[in-house]
Chain A
Amino acid sequence: MTQVLVVDDEPNILLSLEFLMEQAGFQVHTAADGESALQTINAITPDLVLLDISLPGISGFDVLEQLRQDPRFKRLPVIMLTAHGREVEKEKGLALGADDYVTKPFSTQALVQKVHHLLNEAG
């Protein structure tokens, strides 16, 4: 079963993402900060990560950077989530190796499509 890790420090957003991914038929793991996100990734090696940028402690960018340095997670599909609508952040995320980018508030259907799309590509 496809495993998806959802990382966000906003409990309600986390809740909604968790529900959406479950509805899409994935096994969902959650993390509220960068550190626990890395731990979970190391532990379960998910098929896809939905990663918020502004996290307490280690930020989303830091998490992504660390992932891409690890050969195991070099090709792990990652979709960045951000409440900042700024172009620079999008570019920075893509430069760091993010596969896609979603701005909050997002369309749930579009998000689910992107996830499916990425998983198909990877798969």
Chain B
Amino acid sequence: MRNEAIVLVVAFGYLALLFLIAAIGDRRAEQGRSLIGSSSVYALSIAVYCTAWTFYGSVGRATEAGPSFLLIYLGPTLAMLCGWMLIRKMVRIARAQRLTSIADFISARYGKSQSIGALVALIAVIGIIPYIALQLKAITVSYAILIDYPAQTSLQHAESLFFADKSFWIALVLAVFIILFGTRQLDASERHEGMVTAIAFESLIKLLAFLAVGIFVTFVLYQGPVDLFARAAEDPKLLHLLGLDNVPGGAAGWVGLLILSTLAFLTLPRQFQVMVVENVDERHIKRASWLFPLYLLAINIFVIPVALAGLMLGEAAQTPDSFVLTLPLAAGLEFLPLLVFIGGLSAATGMVIVETIALSTMISNQLVMPLLLRWRHLHLDHLYDLSGWLLGIRRVAILFILFLGYLYHALIGDSYSLVTIGLVSFAAAAQFAPALLIGLYWRGATRIAAAAGLMGGILVWGHTLLIPGFAQSGWLEMSLITAGPFGIEALRPYQLFGLQGLDIYSHSLFWSMLVNIGLILLVSQFTQPSRLEQTQAVLFTDALQNEHLHTPVWQGHTSRGELRQLVHRYLGAQATERLFAPFQCEGDLCDDQDPAPSEMIHQAEKQLAGALGSASARVLINSVVRGEALDLQAVLSILDTTSQTLEYNRRLEQKSEELTRIGQELKEANDRLRELDRLKDEFVAMVSHELRTPLTSIRAFAEILRDTPDLPATKRQHFLEVIVRESERLSRLIEEILDLARLESGRMTLNLQKLNLVEVVQQTRDAVARLYEDGGVTLTFTHQAQDPWVSADPDRLHQVLINLLENARKFAKTGAGEVSVSLSQVGRHLRLEVEDNGEGIPESEREKVFEKFHQVEQGNQARPKGRPRGTGLGLPICRGIVAHHGGRLWIDEPADLGGANVILELPRIPPPAQAQDLDAVTTEPSP
């Protein structure tokens, strides 16, 4: 028997120390020298995961199910190692929207829905109460063992009055303690730095205590782990304990427990509190992702040794859940059992503190405040200062939670081991996971679907875990479990629809998740999210991409005075002053009647959200702000529309410019076409005119010959010659017209050959020599070109040259005609100049002679008298042919002879190898 007073003094001393640490933590936070600004503290605070259940229960579970107790820690390890991105996403969202609890978080995701918030809060309270009861039980039992050992402790609280029950007083003490340091400040989203400091400290204590027991058992009671395991190996029953095969539910049980603990780690209200709400620096998450698993490893490393030792040393009489405490007690130690008790106390209180604060925040923000705000009879909106109310609600909530915990413990707690109770809570918390995780990654999940999933899931949980628990405790008929409710076998809680072979937790998890996830996915397909919901869904799912995670922008207006009054009512004078300091008016520039800037409204909502939850804050702000809350989606869609319109306008402008341009082009093309059409008409007219002339002679003379049989032979002969000549003229004309058509359509094919231009000119000269002689025109040819080679069609080139020489001959001075042909090399071209000594062509006419039927057109009006007539197609055809050869043909200033000076340029090509000699010969002046 131990002195009860000493134990009490130590216990209260420990609580006082915690309080002190919390106070220091808070003080330092206020001074801006935070104690929790390290990832180690963050990781330790997450270790609030390890409760009395871990501290005492792990050993108990190990004695029943071997290493499977580790699954409870493997889940969080996985979640931390692999899911730190997810946690970071939640942290970022919670910070941006000032979310205070998991209920707030899920409610915010689904459009700040009050009903979702209330539902989550309700489920959390129902689900977590057993877990709190578990802690009370642990403290009570450990206290009793410590005091009474070695006497058997019997907790007969159910039969005794509650004030004789120690756990009642423990609950009360804890409630007072939590009220003292959990609700000193109102703003729940202003993090509880003091609490986190204290929790980290508690994690350290429980680890140290457990390690102390482990080391004592392993190295003092035995000679190290090798000795311990060797001894255990001698007992086949114990050997079996080490095996992996005795997990309830087998392989499915393994997977089930792993999933369960992973989900619960993310969704347990206290885990959400320390991991998300209390996170001060995102970078801590990354480091905690291996620090925390390390902690789990450390606190579990001695579980098996302690379990084995307890079993071997005949502690079986005691419950295995207490081996941690009974082993050092049995060894007769004084100090170690006390340390272990404190360790267990720290594990239990840590959990209870954080869980209760988290739950009380939910109760006040998600359950009570929304109800009060709705309950008009209270005339809350006329009360000037509601901040006191809020604190009061929270304090009552804390008392309420611990009282419920006590009640559960007193009524049911005994029939379960610690682990069992813990797992029931885990399974309840896991019901949040679908709404939370699906909502974080799938925009399509709607509020109604989330609510359906949550309700469906928790109903299955209640049916498969909670209610059978009552039956096992004797509060309900056992037939409920064995025969099913109302004797319906399909509904047997542990074999729902005949599903067998799973442990009860995996079984419950399977069915509840099936219902939960199924409802979310299914109902989402048939429900439409509201605009705010859509906005929030986008903000949540895109949290890591989106830098601006702000809640919707307020577009309505309210006066500064009204806003100030609102915040003052809920948060008190101090917080109000602090909040509005940045918006202070300078001098008399504005007063309370002036409209509040939207940033001020936004800040007020954020601050209120911190205290009341996002849903209530929105309702309150709505009550003073006139006008619609313009949610971000709406803003975005307005911006979208605007930019779309702008883009549309820009494109329209572009299009109209384009159209104008195209119209212009069309007009130009049309003008060109008209011009071409006109030219074509003219061409056709000219062609017809040119064809009619010889045809007229032919027909006339043919008719004369026909109608005049007695025509003298000479005349007949003369007329027939005219007909022949005119026919030839007609053929020539047609040939030229066809040439022209070929040239203009680009269908003229050239039979290109390497030609010596000097040779071609000489051949042409020979061809026209007779005509020149007859006309009395002298023709001279000079050339200086080195390599007078061109690539040309010989027939076409000949045609051009004959045309030029013939023209020159015709236009040369009558009687004393002179034509000079000279070939020279100009750069890469060969230049052939054909000049006559005629009247020449005035500059304005020089291009016109290359127009088709130029002289004909002119002749219609005033053709210079005495000029010989050509077809009017010769020069245009020549120019076309030359152009096809890549050359140029034009009329230049008169040079030596003073008449028309036609210049032909063709590209020069290198002489063919075998032609070098020939070239040398032909360039010799001919005799």
Chain B residues closer than 8 Å to A105, beta-carbon distance: 692, 695-696, 698-700
Q: Among A10, A56, A58, point to the contact of B697 (Cβ < 8 A).
A: A10
Q: How far is the CA of A13 from the CA of B689 in the complex (A)?
A: 14
Q: What mask results when residues 74 to 97 of chain B are scored 1 for a CB within 8 Å of chain A, else 0?
A: 000000000000000000000000
| A27 lies within 8 A of chain B by Cβ | no
A59 touches B697 (CB 8 A): no
Chain B residues closer than 8 Å to A108, beta-carbon distance: 699-700, 703-704, 707
Chain A residues closer than 8 Å to B31, beta-carbon distance: none
| B693 lies within 8 A of chain A by Cβ | yes
A84 touches B699 (CB 8 A): no
List the A residue with the shortest CB-CB distance to B715: A19
Q: Among B688, B722, B860, B861, point to the contact of A12 (Cβ < 8 A).
A: B722
A10 touches B707 (CB 8 A): no
Also in contact, A109 and B703, with CB within 8 A (given A57-B865, A104-B696): yes
Chain A residues closer than 8 Å to B698, beta-carbon distance: 105
Q: How far is the CA of A10 from the CA of B698 in the complex (A)?
A: 12
| B638 → chain A closest CB, angstroms | 68
Chain A residues closer than 8 Å to B679, beta-carbon distance: none
| A86 lies within 8 A of chain B by Cβ | yes
Q: How far is the CA of A106 from the CA of B726 in the complex (A)?
A: 16
| B184 lies within 8 A of chain A by Cβ | no
B697 touches A13 (CB 8 A): yes
A109 touches B707 (CB 8 A): yes
Q: What mask results when residues 861 to 886 of chain B are scored 1 for a CB within 8 Å of chain A, else 0?
A: 11111110000000000000000000
| A35 → chain B closest CB, angstroms | 8
| B685 lies within 8 A of chain A by Cβ | yes
B859 touches A54 (CB 8 A): yes
B860 touches A54 (CB 8 A): yes
Q: How far is the CA of A84 from the CA of B691 in the complex (A)?
A: 10
| B708 lies within 8 A of chain A by Cβ | yes
Interface centre among B693, B698, B726, B861 (most CB of A within 10 A): B693
Q: Among B693, B862, B867, point to the contact of A83 (Cβ < 8 A).
A: B693
Q: How far is the CA of A106 from the CA of B685 in the complex (A)?
A: 17
| B290 lies within 8 A of chain A by Cβ | no
| A66 lies within 8 A of chain B by Cβ | no
Chain A residues closer than 8 Å to B693, beta-carbon distance: 10, 13, 83, 104
| B701 lies within 8 A of chain A by Cβ | yes
A59 touches B861 (CB 8 A): yes
List the B residue with the shortest CB-CB distance to A112: B707
A56 touches B699 (CB 8 A): no
B704 touches A12 (CB 8 A): no
Chain A residues closer than 8 Å to B725, beta-carbon distance: 12
Chain B residues closer than 8 Å to A83, beta-carbon distance: 688-689, 692-693, 696
A17 touches B685 (CB 8 A): no
| A44 lies within 8 A of chain B by Cβ | no
| A38 lies within 8 A of chain B by Cβ | no
Chain B residues closer than 8 Å to A23, beta-carbon distance: 704, 708
Chain A stretch 37-79: residues in CB contact (< 8 A) with chain B: 54, 56-59
List the A residue with the shortest CB-CB distance to B699: A105
Interface centre among A56, A59, A85, A103 (most CB of B within 10 A): A56
| B864 → chain A closest CB, angstroms | 7
List the A residue with the shortest CB-CB distance to B866: A56
B696 touches A20 (CB 8 A): no
Chain A residues closer than 8 Å to B861, beta-carbon distance: 59
List the B residue with the shortest CB-CB distance to A15: B722
Q: How far is the CA of A17 from the CA of B719 in the complex (A)?
A: 12
SS of A interface (majority):
loop
| A107 lies within 8 A of chain B by Cβ | yes
Q: How far is the CA of A68 from the CA of B129 in the complex (A)?
A: 130
B700 touches A20 (CB 8 A): yes
A57 touches B862 (CB 8 A): yes
Count: A-B pairs, CB below 8 Å: 81
B704 touches A19 (CB 8 A): yes
Q: How far is the CA of A107 from the CA of B689 in the complex (A)?
A: 17
| A16 lies within 8 A of chain B by Cβ | yes
Q: How far is the CA of A107 from the CA of B867 in the complex (A)?
A: 30
Q: How far is the CA of A20 from the CA of B707 in the complex (A)?
A: 10
| A119 → chain B closest CB, angstroms | 20
| Interface magnitude class on chain B | 20 to 34
Also in contact, A104 and B695, with CB within 8 A (given A12-B722, A16-B700, A16-B704): yes
B697 touches A86 (CB 8 A): no
Q: What mask results when residues 828 to 872 of chain B are scored 1 for a CB within 8 Å of chain A, else 0?
A: 000000000000000000000000000010011111111100000
A17 touches B864 (CB 8 A): no
| A85 → chain B closest CB, angstroms | 6
Q: How far is the CA of A35 from the CA of B862 in the complex (A)?
A: 12
List the A residue with the shortest CB-CB distance to B858: A56
Q: What mask results when residues 1 to 44 of chain A are scored 1 for a CB within 8 Å of chain B, else 0?
A: 00000000010110111011001000000000101000000000
Chain B stretch 685-732: residues in CB contact (< 8 A) with chain A: 685, 688-689, 692-693, 695-701, 703-704, 707-708, 715, 719, 722, 725-726
Q: How far is the CA of A105 from the CA of B866 in the complex (A)?
A: 25
Q: How far is the CA of A10 from the CA of B869 in the complex (A)?
A: 10
B697 touches A16 (CB 8 A): yes
Chain B residues closer than 8 Å to A109, beta-carbon distance: 703, 707
Q: How far is the CA of A13 from the CA of B703 in the complex (A)?
A: 13
Chain B residues closer than 8 Å to A57, beta-carbon distance: 862-865
Chain A stretch 88-123: residues in CB contact (< 8 A) with chain B: 103-109
Chain A residues closer than 8 Å to B865, beta-carbon distance: 33, 35, 56-57
| A18 → chain B closest CB, angstroms | 11
| A83 → chain B closest CB, angstroms | 4
Chain B stretch 20-67: residues in CB contact (< 8 A) with chain A: none
Q: How far is the CA of A57 from the CA of B861 in the complex (A)?
A: 8
Q: How far is the CA of A103 from the CA of B699 in the complex (A)?
A: 12
Chain B residues closer than 8 Å to A86, beta-carbon distance: 685
Chain B residues closer than 8 Å to A13, beta-carbon distance: 693, 696-697, 700
Also in contact, A106 and B697, with CB within 8 A (given A23-B708, A83-B689): no
Also in contact, A106 and B859, with CB within 8 A (given A83-B693, A84-B688, A84-B689): no
A85 touches B688 (CB 8 A): yes
Q: How far is the CA of A17 from the CA of B539 in the complex (A)?
A: 103
List the A residue with the shortest CB-CB distance to B863: A56
Chain B stretch 720-753: residues in CB contact (< 8 A) with chain A: 722, 725-726
Q: How far is the CA of A42 from the CA of B863 in the complex (A)?
A: 23
Q: How far is the CA of A20 from the CA of B862 in the complex (A)?
A: 29
Q: How far is the CA of A58 from the CA of B701 in the complex (A)?
A: 27
Chain B residues closer than 8 Å to A12, beta-carbon distance: 697, 701, 722, 725-726
Chain A residues closer than 8 Å to B701, beta-carbon distance: 12, 16
Q: How far is the CA of A58 from the CA of B866 in the complex (A)?
A: 13
Also in contact, A84 and B708, with CB within 8 A (given A54-B859, A59-B862): no
Q: How far is the CA of A121 from the CA of B766 in the complex (A)?
A: 60
Q: How far is the CA of A3 from the CA of B542 in the complex (A)?
A: 110
| A15 → chain B closest CB, angstroms | 7
Interface centre among B703, B725, B726, B856 (most CB of A within 10 A): B703
Interface centre among A59, A84, A104 (most CB of B within 10 A): A104
B695 touches A56 (CB 8 A): no
A104 touches B685 (CB 8 A): no
Also in contact, A56 and B688, with CB within 8 A (given A13-B697, A104-B695, A105-B698): no
List the A residue with the shortest CB-CB distance to B692: A83
Chain B residues closer than 8 Å to A17, beta-carbon distance: 700
29 A-B contacts (beta carbon < 8 Å): A10-B696, A10-B697, A12-B697, A13-B693, A13-B696, A16-B696, A16-B700, A16-B704, A20-B704, A33-B865, A54-B689, A54-B856, A54-B860, A56-B859, A56-B864, A56-B867, A57-B864, A59-B862, A83-B688, A83-B693, A84-B685, A85-B688, A104-B695, A105-B698, A106-B696, A106-B700, A108-B699, A108-B704, A109-B707
Interface residues of B (CB under 8 A from A): 685, 688-689, 692-693, 695-701, 703-704, 707-708, 715, 719, 722, 725-726, 856, 859-867
Extra inter-chain contacts (19) besides given A33-B865, A85-B688, A109-B703, CB under 8 Å: A10-B696, A10-B697, A13-B696, A16-B719, A16-B722, A17-B700, A19-B704, A35-B865, A57-B862, A58-B862, A59-B860, A59-B861, A105-B698, A105-B700, A107-B699, A107-B703, A108-B700, A108-B703, A108-B704
